Amino acid sequence: MLCTLFNAHTYTHAQTAAYGNFSGPKAQEVVVSRGKVLELLRPNEMGKLVTVLSTDVFGCIRALAPFRITGASTDYVIVGSDSGRIVVLQYDAARNAFKKVHQETYGKSGCRRLVPGQFLTCDPKGRACMIASIEKQKFVYVLNRDNAANLTISSPLEAHKSNTIVFSIVGMDCGFDNPIFAAIELDYKEADQVGVDGKKKRQAGEDTHVRASVRSHPINGYQKQHPS
């Protein structure tokens, strides 16, 4: 029996993208997610983007983030999806394919509000990454390399906060100090209280608006590294 896989749907819109040097030190490339399809785009001599690689990941891509570890000449890309895993990919020019360098399971599969994968960001120096869910949960992974210059990834560090809805996360540029991540969050515990007592507060002329706040996540105990 001969079974052939084909794409029944053509995705034309890009959900998220990541810029970096994935195939070479001076290559200007963009990794784009189109639903369940991951593409590598590169400008040609005329300045038009052409597709170098297009592959089906058999899942829903939710977030992308590029990073480069200290001493490396090319970038990796981290993928957040509905698999409940964080996956690190590296472009293999010889095979014209993405090679899975690391995979770490942290939750159930599916696009769930409490399972990380919706938000993803990296430290500008490539030393750590944070993956977060829509609500409550955040994990931080420390990225490093071994003596053979292979990528290593630590066990997840928890940065959870209950009763919060996340709107965005970002890695802060703090030089070679400990990595710091910032998150725009909404504490809905106060919103629940407003729902209970909102009528009384409105009658008294008090402010019942709930405001989002910015919270930082310093990675304590991180061993500082300097470029080799």
Question: pLDDT tens digits, residue range 151-191?
Answer: 888 888 999 888 899 999 999 998 888 899 999 998 888 76
The residue written with tokens 């409490």 in the block is: 114
- Give residue limits of the domains in the chain: 16-162
Q: Which residue has the higher pLDDT, 204 or 106?
A: 106
Q: For the whole model, what pTM was predicted?
A: 0.78
Does the pLDDT value for residue 1 go beyond 80? no
- pLDDT tier at 111, thresholds 50, 70, 90: confident
Q: Cα torsion for 44, 125, 154, 136, to the nearest 10°?
A: -90
Q: What is the pLDDT of residue 59?
A: 86
CA-closest candidate to residue 60, choices 121, 117, 17, 136? 117
Q: What is the pLDDT of residue 147?
A: 82
* pLDDT tens-digit readout, 92-104: 988 999 999 989 8
Q: What is the pLDDT of residue 31?
A: 92
Output the six-digit token pair for 116: 């990380």
| Spatial separation of the C-alpha atoms in residues 227 and 74, rounded to whole Å | 15
The CATH code for residues 16-162 is 2.130.10.10
